[in-house]
């Protein structure tokens, strides 16, 4: 059985690898690190990059926390134990160019005891403008990682992403989805714990090369003030999802996590326009038309 300490150390290495890759990708800005301790047990490393050549604001966070599980989460998990351990890497990147997509990744491990242990995570893409070729490339990359570990992973996790990253009050998906999984165990996958852990690490290591291709393809495209306004509107949708629906945000707040680290997923700026209507036939209207569940990009 792999230990929680080994999992945490492995995730820290992935954080290191990704921050190095993103600094190289941006070419200008550097990450600033803040180490923090959680009241109640554990802590983490928050790494923030801002005002770069392409990354307006981004975070690559690692945490390993433990302590007493709050009553609301005990009820949600339907467990009696209250001593928990959780570790993971969480990433959100907000670019300054509307043609470059927002991206989010999370890989995590949760443990109550030697019998209640599971993995969760995923990667999803939120383009301000949906470009079919980019969407296909991204989903093919996610499928390639999944297929290396289980033939059902991509289809199952793609469906979960569509359902999870859904803004119910807008009746639209946050972006084009990706893969999302939760509470993976040997019992529900047929894989060993080591194999599930290996999958989570491979997914984490797929983040930087996949995103680099999309950034480099689009980073030099020019944009208008109208396109920038649309980007800020789409960021507003991102904020709505994270504050209303995101389970990671809720878990962090309910376990007395570090607020700056929890809310690093929010962009530096976002807008809300009253009763926005896209122009018929515009790129904005075309993007809204594909923010739906169940679209196959492969």
Catalytic (active-site) positions: 104
CA distances from 147 to 151, 154, 215 (A): 5, 7, 25
Write b or e for each residue in 33-63: b if 16 or more Cβ atoms lie within 10 A of its Cβ, otherwise e: eeeeebeebbbbbbbbbeebebbbbbbbbbb
Q: Name the percent of the chain in helix, strand, coil, to the closest 5.
A: 45, 25, 30
The secondary element (H helix, E strand) that includes residue 88 is strand 83-95
The separation between CA 52 and the C-alpha centre of its own chain, rounded to angstroms, equals 20
Contact 92, 265 (CB under 8 A): yes
Six token digits for residue 269: 């700026």
| DSSP 3-state of 255 | coil
The secondary element (H helix, E strand) that includes residue 80 is none
Contact 111, 135 (CB under 8 A): no
């Amino acid at each position: 059985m792999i230990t929680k300490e080994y999992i945490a150390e492995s995730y820290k290495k992935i954080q290191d690898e990704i921050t190095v890759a993103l600094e190289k990708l941006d070419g200008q800005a550097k990450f600033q690190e803040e180490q923090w301790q959680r009241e109640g047990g554990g802590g983490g490393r928050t790494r923030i990059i801002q005002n770069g050549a392409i990354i307006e604001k981004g975070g690559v966070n690692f945490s390993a926390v433990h302590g007493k599980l709050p009553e609301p989460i005990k009820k949600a998990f339907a467990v009696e134990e209250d001593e928990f351990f959780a570790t993971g890497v969480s990433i959100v990147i907000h670019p300054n160019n509307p043609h470059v997509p927002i991206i989010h990744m999370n890989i995590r491990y949760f443990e109550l005891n030697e019998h209640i242990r599971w993995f969760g995570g995923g990667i999803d893409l939120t383009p301000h403008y949906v470009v079919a070729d980019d969407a296909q490339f991204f989903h093919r990359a996610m499928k390639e990682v999944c297929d290396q570990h289980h033939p059902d992973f991509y289809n199952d996790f793609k469906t979960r992403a569509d359902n999870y990253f859904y803004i119910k009050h807008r009746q639209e998906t946050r972006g084009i989805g990706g893969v999302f999984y939760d509470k993976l165990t040997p019992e529900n996958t047929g894989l060993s714990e080591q194999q599930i852990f290996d999958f989570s690490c491979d997914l984490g290591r797929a983040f930087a090369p996949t995103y680099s291709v999309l950034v480099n393809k689009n980073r030099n495209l020019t944009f208008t003030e109208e396109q920038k306004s649309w980007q800020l509107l789409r960021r507003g949708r991102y904020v709505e999802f994270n504050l209303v629906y995101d389970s990671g945000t809720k878990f962090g707040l309910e376990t007395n996590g570090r607020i700056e680290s929890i809310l690093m997923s929010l962009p530096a700026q976002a807008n809300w326009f009253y009763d926005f209507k896209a122009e018929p036939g515009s790129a904005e209207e075309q993007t809204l038309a594909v923010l739906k569940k169940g679209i196959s990009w492969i």
